[in-house]
């Protein structure tokens, strides 16, 4: 079988770095060290618990952005996964096929992630020659040498970090650096696209959780008999909280509404609280309508083009969710799937073209 010509990406998380940087960005420098500890579980309802919820890192936003550079061939996250805060992300990371590398603390403040991550990355670059892109999710200046070495080896280096917690030297050492807040803006744009496609806001009420987001009424009529609504993967705590807060008491049989935050952002939970409900949602796919919009928004942000080639859009969707299959949704071709989303996207099928874009907003 011929080797794939698809660009291949190696993704490395310094997980403690990104979690702590996000928390300190929202709550003040040094706040994470003051509010949490490595062994003590933060109790629900406390101020620290609420702050952790606000500072939750959206794993999907990072992975989906990394997928715009090619197929993610390696994905590793380095941290002490026995700590309660990090443990709350384990299921979601595993669900996205991210390898968790356990690092026990070497001192009160260091776990050696920077050295271990850099050594592993350099080893991968030498052993796997067709890795074309290196993505570093961290803001520590300790990764400058790694970025410089990867560039010398001919790799395209991408950094992802939190504003205020990123070294200028690391930013300069990368070929491209993305602000984490900018990644969240893509999810916000997707929600805006869904709301725009919903006439009178009626569909926006159904777009969370199981509804096919962004489809027009006619499109829903086409899609409805073809495939049942699918439940999106989420952490057990997210689903439980959303049900308690949003589901009306008189309609307990209805699916709980998804939270307004990004699609799979996990809320902080202690390790003992997660797991049971996660098995119930195993094997489900992400909402296909929202997956389409996310792919279009990411590609538009990357190449600054309104119109995207349909094959490139499908390829991006498969990178983000390899289980996506339009035939399983009842559509013989991807073009038919796109046509069923006519309320939110439009096709250009003029001779020589097979392009799609997000439908222009009214007014």
Q: What are the residues facing 308 on neighbouring strands?
A: 356
Pairing of strands 355-358, 99-102: unpaired
Residues counted in the chain: 363
- In whole angstroms, what is the distance from residue 99 CA to residue 90 CA? 10
- pLDDT value, residue 255: 45
Rg of the chain over Cα atoms, rounded to whole angstroms, equals 21
Q: Which helix (H) or strand (E) holds 172?
A: helix 168-173
Q: What's the Cα-to-Cα distance from 201 to each of 344, 358, 362, rounded to whole Å?
A: 14, 18, 14
- pLDDT value, residue 65: 96
- pLDDT value, residue 234: 41
- In whole angstroms, what is the distance from residue 188 CA to residue 132 CA? 30
- Three-point CA angle 155, 157, 161, nearest 5°: 165
- In whole angstroms, what is the distance from residue 283 CA to residue 106 CA? 38
- pLDDT value, residue 41: 73
Read off the pTM. Answer: 0.73
Kindly tell me the sign of the dihedral angle through the C-alpha atoms of 63, 69, 72, 73: negative
Burial state string for 307-322 with b = 16 or more CB within 10 A and e = fewer than 16: bbebeebbbbbbbbbe
Kindly tell me the sign of the dihedral angle through the C-alpha atoms of 141, 142, 143, 145: positive
- Is residue 111 within 8 A of residue 104, CB to CB? The reply is yes
- pLDDT value, residue 30: 87
Helical packing angle, 180-197 and 288-303, nearest 10°: 130
Biggest CA-to-CA distance, the chain: 64
Q: Kindly write down the DSSP assignment for every residue of 271-322, as one continuous string.
A: GGGSSHHHHHTTT----HHHHHHHHHHHHHHHH--SSEEHHHHHHHHHHH-T
In 3D space, the residue among 315, 314, 224 whose CA is nearest the CA of residue 4 turns out to be: 315
Sole residue written with tokens 């979601």 = 92
Sole residue written with tokens 């928004």 = 297
- In whole angstroms, what is the distance from residue 242 CA to residue 257 CA? 6
- In whole angstroms, what is the distance from residue 238 CA to residue 236 CA? 6
Strand arrangement, sheet containing 345-348: 308-309, 355-358, 345-348
- pLDDT value, residue 105: 77
Contacts of 313 (CB under 8 A, 6+ apart): 292, 295, 296, 299, 356
- In whole angstroms, what is the distance from residue 306 CA to residue 311 CA? 15
Name the DSSP class of 201: G
- pLDDT value, residue 208: 40
Each residue's pLDDT, cut to its tens digit, for the chain (363 residues) gives 455 678 999 999 999 999 999 999 999 888 888 888 766 677 788 888 899 999 999 999 999 999 999 999 999 999 999 888 999 999 999 999 999 999 987 765 566 789 999 999 999 999 998 999 999 999 999 999 999 999 999 999 999 999 988 999 999 999 999 999 999 988 888 888 888 776 654 344 333 433 333 333 333 333 333 444 443 444 444 434 444 444 444 444 444 444 444 444 444 444 433 333 443 334 446 889 999 999 999 999 999 999 999 999 999 999 999 999 999 999 999 999 999 998 899 999 888 888 999 988 765
């Amino acid at each position: 079988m011929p080797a794939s010509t698809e660009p291949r990406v190696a993704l490395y998380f310094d997980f403690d770095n990104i979690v702590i940087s996000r928390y300190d960005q929202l709550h003040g420098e040094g706040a994470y060290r003051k509010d949490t500890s490595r062994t003590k579980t933060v109790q629900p309802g406390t101020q620290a618990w609420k702050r952790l919820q606000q500072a939750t890192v959206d794993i999907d936003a990072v992975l989906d952005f990394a997928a715009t550079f090619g197929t993610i061939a390696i994905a590793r996250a380095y941290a002490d996964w026995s700590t309660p805060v990090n443990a709350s992300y384990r299921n979601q990371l595993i669900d996205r096929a991210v390898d968790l590398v356990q690092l026990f603390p070497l001192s009160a403040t260091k776990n050696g992630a920077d050295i271990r991550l850099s050594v592993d990355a350099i080893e991968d670059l030498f052993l796997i020659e067709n890795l074309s892109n290196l993505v570093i999710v961290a803001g520590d200046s300790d990764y400058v040498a790694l970025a410089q070495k990867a560039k010398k080896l001919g790799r395209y280096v991408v950094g992802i970090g939190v504003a205020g917690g990123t070294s200028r030297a690391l930013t300069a050492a990368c070929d491209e650096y993305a602000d984490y807040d900018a990644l969240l803006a893509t999810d916000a744009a997707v929600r805006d696209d869904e709301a725009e496609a919903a006439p009178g806001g009626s569909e926006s009420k159904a777009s969370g959780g199981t509804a096919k987001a962004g489809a027009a009424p006619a499109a829903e009529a086409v899609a409805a008999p073809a495939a049942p609504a699918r439940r999106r993967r989420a952490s057990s705590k997210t689903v439980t909280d959303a049900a308690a807060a949003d589901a009306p008491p008189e309609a307990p049989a209805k699916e709980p509404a998804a939270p307004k935050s990004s699609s799979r952002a996990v809320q902080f939970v202690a390790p003992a609280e997660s797991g049971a409900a996660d098995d119930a949602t195993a094997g489900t796919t992400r909402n296909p309508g929202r997956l389409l919009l996310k792919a279009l928004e990411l590609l538009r942000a990357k190449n600054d083009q309104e119109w995207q080639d349909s094959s490139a859009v499908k390829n991006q969707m498969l990178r983000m969710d390899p289980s996506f299959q339009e035939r399983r949704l009842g559509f013989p071709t991807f073009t038919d799937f796109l046509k069923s989303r006519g309320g939110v996207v439009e096709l250009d099928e003029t001779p020589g073209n097979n392009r799609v874009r997000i439908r222009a907003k009214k007014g």
